[in-house]
Structure 1
Amino acid sequence: MSSAPSAGIFQPLKADDPEIVGGYRLAAVLGAGGMGKVYLSYTPGGRPIAIKVIRSEFSEDPEFRRRFQQEVRSAERVQGLYTAPVIDSDTEGSQPWLATAYVPGPSLAHAVAHHGALPPRSVLLLAVGVAEALTVIHGAGIVHRDLKPANVLLASDGPRVIDFGIARAADSTALTSTGVTIGTPAFMAPEQASTGTITPATDVFALGQIAAFAAIGSSVYGDGPSHAVLYRIVHEDPDLSELPQELRPLVTRCLSRDPADRPALTEVIALCHAASGTEPLRQGEDWLPRAVAGSITERVHLLPAPAPTPPPKPAAPVPTEVSAQPPAPSAPPAPAGAPAHAAPTQAAPAKPAPAQPGQATVPTGYGTPPPYAQPPHQQPAYAYPQPPRPQPSYAQPTYAQPTYAQPRPGYAQPGWGQQTYPPAPAKPKRTGLIVTLSVVGAVIGLAVLGSLLPDSDKGKGGAAGSQGSGGGSTGTSASPGGGNKPVDPKPVSYKGIDMPAAHQLMLADNPPRPAEAPEGGSVLYGDGDLYYYQGSVSGHQLGTSNGKMVLLNNSEKGSLATCRAVTRFTEKINLDQLTVGSEVCVLSDAGHIAVATYRGKSGSKESSQYLTLDLTIWRNAEEAKKGA
């Protein structure tokens, strides 16, 4: 492979790209994927960061937003040496985004495409670093689900795993169920490709795929259409003929079809150390071939500078208060024909003279006042006491009352004959008290009158009042604004879902697929809309961790209307309360409603315990609860 310069690493922003995201000014485009676009930006201190802006198609899906918020909160807890930490995010804006530390290195996919396969020692150091990253990620209760060469970046001091857990937010949402694919088929595990089951062992399979890809330069399951690759992953053995001999124990164990046969992450690290022989594995700046290391240096040198911040707009001059009083009589008058604002020739006083009673002041900037501020300087009316001339904009009778004018002989009216300034204040009126007493009296009178009316009239009035005061009796199907009844979603039915013990499912998934709770957790405290729990004390239970349930009576027909009307809510139902055909309403906090029909459970002699359900789901039948 040639070591061509990494041209096009940093693409300029286009017309449809935002300039600022969450207060960060964008400097370049780093790339785009199935979930969104990634931009380069900088922190206020000058550290480069990568900002992933989620596609608008996903942000419009309420189920995606709920899951994205959960995954971002979990990802913020991941602080490992081989992960790119999350430093900022906005999960509730019009277009969600996520900011991580920028890693100045190519992805494994890019490095192999441009420089070829890596030597065995680099592959072992790569596998050790990815295994350490997965240990931290799984410790936070996250399964990556989309571990592939494009999500492993090669830094000068080791690999970095990115985009951990974010794929779960998009998995089985309304968008993905209509054809948008999340994840790369060539790096899926057999159980992920066939039944959609996701466990930490799924990431171990992907780790083996990545190690083989780095050593060979291609997928061990071949290329071609997605369905053909997935078939080979599920039914055929990988082609390891070109894999170096020292890497085969590691890759063979990781690529076991049965998740139980795959090694734990601690075993993966031990296998890597065993494969290195007498040379200990130590991360350092020499862990990559020279050509790949050179591309890292090149990226550092080509890193665009932070986008310039536009200069602030010039601030308006700070206004000061100057006296509008004309020069004193002793001052020489302004020359004839001079503008009214011409300043006298004498020096300005050290302190401005205090304004006289009734004297107006006008604001002006530094230096010569603008012409439009000059008319007040031409008003001689303030040289002696007299009523102010009403201005056109204040020509209201209220402002012309004698109370507000200075006294002048001959201007007195009855009751205003004082000749001193200021005039005596008018006697306060008790208008407010009179109005208050009038209102109280009216209320008492209406109450007395209402008590004399017949009971039937009062009943009619009460009924009318309750309907007109908010439509509380219109039912849950009424629109918030009291308009027409919204159209109910169409039901979708799924038959014969086998749910193993300690598994949960989400009503938004299409189809709903039982999955285990996060590693180290329990379905009792998970986020499943419906789960099956088998306890030594509490027995077998069907429950929900994300909503409420109602066991319907024999007389109640399982339907959307019935589930909306019943109120005998619970979160757990013992299986001994169920018989074949029993129906249970499930109302999730995300707004989905389902009727689960119980079809029985496995026998006591079977190796695994599971129950069988039929599901009828009305998705987005209600408004999602806040924070759900």
Structure 2
Amino acid sequence: MGSAPSADFFQPLKADDPAVVGGYRLVAVLGSGGMGKVYLSYTPGGRPLAIKVIRPEFSEDPEFRRRFRQEVRAAERVQGLYTAPVIDSDTEGAQPWLATAYVPGPSLADAVARHGALPVRSVLLLTVGVAEALHVIHGAGIVHRDLKPANVLLASDGPRVIDFGIARAADSTALTSTGVSVGTPAFMAPEQASAGTVTPATDVFALGQIAAFTAIGASVFGDGPSHAVLYRIVHEDPDLSALPAELRPVVTRCLSRDPADRPTLTEVIELCHAASESPLRQGEDWLPQAVAGSLTERLQLPAPAPTPAPAHAPAPAPTPTEVSAPGAAAVPAAPGYTPTGVAASAPTQTAPAAGAPGAVVPGHPTPPPYTQPSHAQPSYAQPSYAQPSYPPPQHGHPPYSQPSYAPGHGTPPPFHAQGFVPGPPAAPAPPRPKRTGLIVAGAVVAAVVGLVVLGSLLPDGNADKGGDKGSGGGSASPGAAQKRPDPQPVSYQGIEMPQNHQLMFADNPPRPAEEPTGAGVLYGHGDLFYYRDTMFGDEKFGTANGKLVLLNNSEKGSLETCRAVTRFTEKIGLDQLTDGSQVCVLSKAGHITLATFRGRSGVKEETRFITVDLTVWRNAEASAKD
């Protein structure tokens, strides 16, 4: 969850943006990312919030929802001084969302891009603050997994770490193919990049990279394609030649390739204090003047939008004898906030009249004022990886009280019959003259029509005697099976597959990734893989989840051809492929794919990759059998 604005800080809402999320009226767009879009809103008391709304395609994945629910519950326990606390959330709605306190400051990535590298003292204070934030995050049983400059915001009194643990919700789901990386390549740890292993030490490695990035203004593992950066992280040493000498002890240890050699968070803080010429104290002067000036701009928040007029004609105003259904309490409207559900109150509370939010019916008690129950932060046992010598920071910071306007209650119920006090009975309508003759005639006509319709539905006696089955009145036999139409092909051009990577045809788009179990692509579950033996130079193009066929030049690649060919294999040597070679791949899941080989990178590159075009017919094998 974040609130780092783009270059214009606050973007106006567009036609496809929701006006209200979970009862919070949205005011502006703060930014967007791989997992969702971030909006500015306000609490009932007027405090600004950053609300991240998860993208719809993630909402449809049950595994993502399960993990997102777990991570949000864990994130609610994190109440550190250097984190943006979770205020509210809805993990069960049609489109999940998460709200945190708004941080009026740029992201570290934005600040460095605009102003360049920061001075040593600012780097040390930032490193200490992020280390304290990680200590609290780890203490709640969370590993950040995606600590990067975009997830560190610069406030006037120190850094704020955001999006902690949320990246795990997208891990190991098919949805990572939609452009979301679980961990940014340039800031991954070696064990995370090579085997997907994630521990608290993974965050320490990222912290070392962030410190170096802040001091140098660039990544110590260089730029370029993600697979090239990941290769350097796993196999090469970082370039620290431009790093100030004061920062080298802490950065060098944090960037140890072996997680066991990295310092604890307590040691990181001690190393930073040892490197500083004066005591490290967070304050208004912790940032350079140019960066601090940009914080003032973000304090000029846009005003909450007025509540729009209803699109339809308003319902008639309730009479004094109407009362709300039980639990539908009248809550005064607050700027930028439209409650979708409130806790049940005394049934004597009245519903507001149309056009008058919070109005009270005369003669009934006034609703109680809005209160926030105290939810003291529970005590959690410190995991085994926490540093026992470093107590959790308190600094007199009281636990955050969770608001009572939690989502999931739905909109207030409308007026119901049991809550309506009827008025005097209306005068009975005058009797209508009887038309007995018309009723009898109508009944006779209806009976005749019914007999005609019933006769048309009876089976034709001539059908079994060789009657005319080709007439317009004939029908298909009940047992005739109808073949499902073939699925529409989906094409993907120029997919680059690094060596020892695989992809799945069910993903949209298919995105190369390493085998998550670390077993290697030859023993994985990929629908298509590219394997290269670095010792013997052997290169294979194959599948670990089905069969494939290399088509001859005379065979035209198509769905019909891929269904007809039978000379199956599982691996093809790369020396058998030339630019334009076509391979049919039939996965066990029933997907059929035509892969067109478009060449490979230069043989002198340490990390090679091939380029393929894919045409995928999903579930085509199943439809062929119907």
TM-score (norm 1): 0.51
CA displacement, residues 553-597 of structure 1 (integer Å, 9 cap, x when unaligned): xxxxxxxxxxxxxxxxxxxxxxxxxxxxxxxxxxxxxxxxxxxxx
Structure 1 residues 44 and 362, CA, compared in 2 at 3 Å: closer, same or farther? closer
Partner-residue secondary structure (3-state), 2:299: helix
Counterpart position of 1:248? 248
Give the residue type in structure 2 aligned to 1:208: G
CA positional deviation for 1:181: 2.5
Give the residue type in structure 2 aligned to 1:391: P
Query: Hey, what's the Cα distance between the residues in 2 that align with 1:18 and 1:237?
Result: 47
Which protein shows a greater Rg?
A: 1
Give the residue type in structure 2 aligned to 1:251: V
Counterpart position of 1:306? 304
Query: Hey, what's the Cα distance between the residues in 1 that align with 2:132 and 2:99?
Result: 22
Give the residue type in structure 2 aligned to 1:143: V
Query: Hey, what's the Cα distance between the residues in 1 that align with 2:132 and 2:432?
Result: 76
Counterpart position of 1:292? 291
Structure 1 residues 395 and 67, CA, compared in 2 at 3 Å: closer, same or farther? farther
Give the residue type in structure 1 aligned to 2:288: P
Give the residue type in structure 1 aligned to 2:189: A
Partner-residue secondary structure (3-state), 2:228: helix
Structure 1 residues 311 and 394, CA, compared in 2 at 3 Å: closer, same or farther? farther
2:34 and 2:179 in contact (8 A); partners too: no
CA positional deviation for 1:298: 1.0
CA positional deviation for 1:363: 7.6
Query: Hey, what's the Cα distance between the residues in 2 that align with 1:179 and 1:285?
Result: 38
Query: Hey, what's the Cα distance between the residues in 1 that align with 2:47 and 2:319?
Result: 41
1:175-574 to 2 correspondences below 5 Å: 175-176=175-176, 180-277=180-277, 279-301=278-300, 303-310=301-308, 316=316, 391-392=430-431, 511-513=515-517
1:168 corresponds to 2:168: yes
Counterpart position of 1:42? 42
CA positional deviation for 1:183: 2.5
Partner-residue secondary structure (3-state), 2:193: helix
Structure 1 residues 305 and 513, CA, compared in 2 at 3 Å: closer, same or farther? same
Counterpart position of 1:120? 120
CA positional deviation for 1:172: 1.5
More RCO (CA 8 Å, sep 6+): 2
CA displacement, residues 300-323 of structure 1 (integer Å, 9 cap, x when unaligned): 02x1111212368877466699xx
Structure 1 residues 288 and 180, CA, compared in 2 at 3 Å: closer, same or farther? closer
Q: 5+ unaligned residues in a row in structure 1: which ranges?
A: 322-360, 365-372, 377-388, 398-508, 516-628
Counterpart position of 1:580? none
Partner-residue secondary structure (3-state), 2:174: coil
Query: Hey, what's the Cα distance between the residues in 2 that align with 1:394 and 1:166?
Result: 73
Counterpart position of 2:136? 136
Q: Which moved more, 1:51-60 or 1:169-178?
A: 169-178
Question: What is the percent sequence identity of the aligned residues?
Answer: 82
Counterpart position of 2:57? 57
Count how many residue pairs are aligned between Structure 1 and Structure 2.
Answer: 344
2:188 and 2:206 in contact (8 A); partners too: yes
Counterpart position of 1:110? 110
Give the residue type in structure 1 aligned to 2:17: D
Give the residue type in structure 2 aligned to 1:247: L
Query: Hey, what's the Cα distance between the residues in 1 that align with 2:318 and 2:86?
Result: 44
Give the residue type in structure 2 aligned to 1:83: T
Query: Hey, what's the Cα distance between the residues in 2 that align with 1:229 and 1:170?
Result: 22
Query: Hey, what's the Cα distance between the residues in 2 that align with 1:318 and 1:182?
Result: 53
Query: Hey, what's the Cα distance between the residues in 2 that align with 1:242 and 1:263?
Result: 22
CA positional deviation for 1:176: 1.6
Partner-residue secondary structure (3-state), 2:41: strand
CA positional deviation for 1:513: 2.9
Query: Hey, what's the Cα distance between the residues in 1 that align with 2:320 and 2:86?
Result: 50
Query: Hey, what's the Cα distance between the residues in 2 that align with 1:177 and 1:97?
Result: 21
Q: 5+ unaligned residues in a row in structure 2: which ranges?
A: 322-421, 437-512, 520-626
CA positional deviation for 1:511: 4.4
Structure 1 residues 54 and 396, CA, compared in 2 at 3 Å: closer, same or farther? farther
2:125 and 2:282 in contact (8 A); partners too: yes
CA positional deviation for 1:283: 0.3
2:148 and 2:187 in contact (8 A); partners too: yes
CA positional deviation for 1:69: 0.5
Query: Hey, what's the Cα distance between the residues in 1 that align with 2:276 and 2:516?
Result: 44
CA positional deviation for 1:54: 0.7
Give the residue type in structure 2 aligned to 1:291: A
Query: Hey, what's the Cα distance between the residues in 2 that align with 1:78 and 1:45?
Result: 22
Counterpart position of 2:151? 151
Query: Hey, what's the Cα distance between the residues in 2 that align with 1:271 and 1:394?
Result: 100
Partner-residue secondary structure (3-state), 2:58: helix
Partner-residue secondary structure (3-state), 1:51: strand
Give the residue type in structure 2 aligned to 1:204: V
CA positional deviation for 1:175: 1.5
Structure 1 residues 6 and 149, CA, compared in 2 at 3 Å: closer, same or farther? closer
2:63 and 2:173 in contact (8 A); partners too: yes
1:320 and 1:363 in contact (8 A); partners too: no
Query: Hey, what's the Cα distance between the residues in 2 that align with 1:126 and 1:230?
Result: 25
CA positional deviation for 1:67: 0.5
Query: Hey, what's the Cα distance between the residues in 2 that align with 1:41 and 1:395?
Result: 64
CA displacement, residues 345-387 of structure 1 (integer Å, 9 cap, x when unaligned): xxxxxxxxxxxxxxxx9989xxxxxxxx9xx7xxxxxxxxxxx
Structure 1 residues 316 and 190, CA, compared in 2 at 3 Å: closer, same or farther? same
Structure 1 residues 318 and 120, CA, compared in 2 at 3 Å: closer, same or farther? closer
CA displacement, residues 223-252 of structure 1 (integer Å, 9 cap, x when unaligned): 111111111111111111111110000100
Displacement over 4 Å in runs of 4+: 177-180, 311-315, 317-321, 361-364, 393-397, 509-512
Partner-residue secondary structure (3-state), 1:37: strand
Query: Hey, what's the Cα distance between the residues in 2 that align with 1:510 and 1:179?
Result: 15
CA positional deviation for 1:396: 13
Give the residue type in structure 2 aligned to 1:310: P
Query: Hey, what's the Cα distance between the residues in 2 that align with 1:394 and 1:156?
Result: 84
Query: Hey, what's the Cα distance between the residues in 2 that align with 1:203 and 1:6?
Result: 26
TM-score (norm 2): 0.51
2:35 and 2:180 in contact (8 A); partners too: no
Counterpart position of 1:415? none
